[in-house]
Amino acid sequence: MIIGIDDTDSKDGMCTTYLAAVLIEKLKTYGTPGGYPLLVRLNPNIKYKTRGNAALALCIELNNKEDAGKVKSSVISTVEDMAVFSDDNTNPGVVFIERTTPQMQDDLSLFSMRAVQDVLKIREALELLEKHGISYRGYKNKRGLIGALAAAGFALCGLPDFTFELIAYREREKWGTPRQIDEGSVREAASTPGTWDTVDYENKRIVFAPHSPDPILFGIRGESESAVRQAFSKVKSEPVERHIVYKTNQNTDMHLIPARISDVRSCRSYILEGRVSKPPRTIEGGHVIFELSDGSRTLECAAFEPTKGFRGIIRKLRTGDEVTVYGSVKDNTLNLEKIRIISLNTYESRNPICCGKRMKSMGRGQGYRCEKCNTKSKEPVTEIVQRDISPGFYEVPPSARRHLAKPLVRDRMIEAASSCARSRASIPPACQPVREKILF
């Protein structure tokens, strides 16, 4: 049985991952977990989200098929006990997938992907649930069914790319109090190979622990279960009530859709190629904005204040630079998560020089005149400008990273692992190690 759950928490406390962690324990009576619990991040631009738009799915191999009813009752009573129903914006949803068909798999794999990349209606979730006879429980306006069905869909159809997060939870009496975590041990944990975003080195901040009053003590993200467990073993902190390793679509860029600017719609996330058509400017609040054009249309791209040093890179762009931008679009502005500078415009059109000084423009299209000797020139001159930035990828710091955004360090790990696999493939099979182990 696959159980999908969403929308149980509020800004003032609780967290759907904690509810899932409690359920994992309770459901052990009825069977064994079928794989990792899934922590799925959905469209980061959904206005109803509490924080990170997370939804959860658990898979259980029942000891006894007759226990299905008991499992459903246990899940429903746990949700009814723990969800913050008093919050207007909390609309819990739970779904139970007990059997599947190829048509259901096709429909759910599309629905789940759309939940990450698009904006869905509650009606769409209800129609699919009815069409495939999936049992469910939706509370209040039932919006949580969207996330619950999407998470269950990923559990059924698989995640195209995934990472892991070990979440450690606090003892109940500590909820809402400052977290006690030894900083030195966190720095040591952060250096564990195959993990990322524990510490923001550039901004000298520990970023793996939230500041909200929820049950989470901290979360460690990484490429494998062993990597996150190894890092976890190094952290010294207040007592951990329980911890769970989730399989997740975090840090996979799953939300990004390659597109042309003319196809962009608000509340979706994109990969867009183009040229800087208006240079960067800093606006009130310290946000840096430039205009991108791809011939089909133009779009403003923003490095917002929380992206800190990343803004310094964006400020160095010039009109004509060729770039690929990655991020979500809202209010006709793309919120930059990362950028690839493909080529730099190193040419600049300037007034010609005469008598050791720049000639004066005589007005638009009128040419130039030397103020000293009156020499005239029709055309400007093209000069080479030095740039103090290089082509390549640049990203926001960990403290400003969105859950779904793939950090560059992860790309480097994947590249290192595949080149390691390529070089192993070139060794005759008899020489290959018996147990494969990829070291990041």
Q: In whole angstroms, how close is the CB of 78 to ligand ATP at the nearest point? A: 15
Q: In whole angstroms, how close is the CB of 155 to ligand ATP at the nearest point? A: 16
Q: What contacts 182, CB < 8 A, 6 or more positions away?
A: 235, 236, 237
Q: In whole angstroms, how close is the CB of 404 to ligand ATP at the nearest point? A: 12
C-beta closer to ligand ATP: residue 15 or 104: 15
Q: In whole angstroms, how close is the CB of 359 to ligand ATP at the nearest point? A: 58
Q: In whole angstroms, how close is the CB of 219 to ligand ATP at the nearest point? A: 12
Q: In whole angstroms, how close is the CB of 206 to ligand ATP at the nearest point? A: 20
Q: How far apart are CA 390 and CA 394, in angstroms?
A: 10
Footprint of ligand ATP (CB under 6 A): 6-7, 9, 15-16, 42-43, 46, 48-54, 91, 115, 118-120, 143-144, 146-147
Q: In whole angstroms, how close is the CB of 55 to ligand ATP at the nearest point? A: 6
Q: In whole angstroms, how close is the CB of 283 to ligand ATP at the nearest point? A: 28
By CB atoms closer than 10 A (0-12, 13-18, 19+), residue 387 is middle
C-beta closer to ligand ATP: residue 192 or 269: 269
Q: In whole angstroms, how close is the CB of 173 to ligand ATP at the nearest point? A: 21
C-beta closer to ligand ATP: residue 267 or 409: 267
Q: In whole angstroms, how close is the CB of 334 to ligand ATP at the nearest point? A: 18
- Phi then psi dihedrals of residue 176, to 5 deg: 90, -10
Q: How many CB atoms lie within 10 A of CB 368?
A: 20
C-beta closer to ligand ATP: residue 43 or 251: 43
C-beta closer to ligand ATP: residue 54 or 129: 54
CA distances from 295 to 272, 274, 289, 299, 406 (A): 12, 8, 19, 11, 28
C-beta closer to ligand ATP: residue 52 or 352: 52
C-beta closer to ligand ATP: residue 50 or 252: 50
C-beta closer to ligand ATP: residue 68 or 84: 84
C-beta closer to ligand ATP: residue 15 or 292: 15
C-beta closer to ligand ATP: residue 15 or 404: 15
